[in-house]
Amino acid sequence: MKSEEESRPASGTPYETRGRGSAFGKVKTLATLGIFVLSGFLGYHAGNLSRIVSSDYFGGPPGTPGRLAYAVAYVKGPNSNVTGVVHFSQSSPTGPVFITGELKNLDPNAERGFHIHEYGDITDGCMSSGSHYNPFGTTHGGPKDLKRHVGDLGNIRSDAYGVAKLDFSDSVIGLLGPLSIIGRTVLVHTGTDDLGRGSNEDSLKTGNAGGRAACGIIGTTLSFIMFGKVKFVAAFALLAFSSASAKLTCEVKKDVYAKAVLKDANGTTIGVVNLYQASNLDPVKITADLKGLGAEGKKGFHVHEFGDLSNGCASAGGHFNPYSKQHGGPDATERHAGDLGNIVAAADGTSKVNVEDKHISLHGGKTGIIGRAIVLHAGEDDLGKGGQSDSLTTGHAGARLACGVIGYAAPPAPAA
């Protein structure tokens, strides 16, 4: 079993956030401004306020109160039978993240390390998810410790049947802003996390939590009211704090790498999509070698709005369309942000993908696609020109052949 690596500042995190100084001040200032404007809007529309706080309109996992942001991870063990779904939700940009869910097939009556890891990359199972998410370069600790990794969530406890029911909160991680865990990995270990209190060096790096039993990429999911002014309130708040993250990232203009492992309905991997963006001003470069695509011809290739694979590709939602436009081709003026057109399958069912797109971003903001899904369709996308009833919504591209959540990835190793 490969051992854990020492934690280091995570990819996809703006440089300023690796120290607790200026970035936190900027985020707090922007957060205060956003809350002030949002409060004024809510006050003006006071008639909707009681509906916001007293209903389940916000969606999300059953039984949770209305919250501002949601994420989900479908957890699976590449070499174990551990499986389950973990939900994350957050009521305000500065509030705690609530974590609920259920994991099965764990060791019975056991405590197992439970962490957020820096990369949302499952190309090598759970091993390619990197170390604990630790943007400040601190030592490992328990979830209540002042000195801890951002991703240190402690242990989960299983019952006599090997089932762990999750229902707790954490005030360090976030779903919004530059410390968002969306696009990273939630991981269950084979051993118990000693919370940094062990007697060896690894205790302050990994908690001696052992191997990696199961993991899942944290993706966006259905998060707020689907109608009227209340939808605008939630969308406005998400945009405000997403923009705060984007502004911090713009100052650094660092390159971001991401990956999505595409799997079909049987769980067979058909390929890995690699994404790269040098800065927020550059297009996103997308490359892939795909196989097992079936019949020769064009197949729709899109970014969908949710990185939710809890019900396979069906739970990935529609095309990513933050500006509510009609569907079109990648070069069209009127198009969804997620409209990447078609890939072309050869007679042997393979395809080489090498495209660029300037309508999506790996740097956050309204067009950010980290934590969303890439979906490959079984049919050709007519680019909105087919005259079918769904040409201007889906491109009449047919069923969903394969999909994968877009997560942060490590930069490639330097050439020897």
Residues recognised as catalytic: 115, 117, 132, 140, 149, 152, 189, 212
Strands 373-377 and 400-405: antiparallel
Q: State the Cα–Cα distance between residues 31 and 29, nearest whole angstrom.
A: 5
DSSP 146-158: SS--TTEEEEEE-
DSSP 322-374: TT-PPP--TT-SS--TTEEEEEEE-TTS-EEEEEEESS-BSS-STTB-TTSEE
Q: Which pair of tokens denotes residue 293?
A: 């695509």
- Tell me the C-alpha to C-alpha distance, in Å, between residue 377 and each of 109, 175, 235, 339: 43, 29, 28, 12
Write out the E strands in 138-229: 152-157, 164-170, 185-189, 212-217, 219-220
Q: State the Cα–Cα distance between residues 77 and 82, nearest whole angstrom.
A: 5
Q: 181: which DSSP letter?
A: -
Give the burial class of 123: count Cβ atoms within 10 A of its Cβ; 0-12 exposed, 13-18 middle, 19 or more buried: middle
Write out the E strands in 55-157: 69-76, 83-90, 97-104, 111-117, 123-126, 152-157
Give the burial class of 96: count Cβ atoms within 10 A of its Cβ; 0-12 exposed, 13-18 middle, 19 or more buried: middle
- Tell me the C-alpha to C-alpha distance, in Å, between residue 355 and each of 166, 284, 287, 304, 384: 41, 8, 7, 17, 20
3-state secondary structure of 40: helix
Going by C-alpha positions, the residue among 356, 364, 394, 359 that lies closest to residue 378 is 394
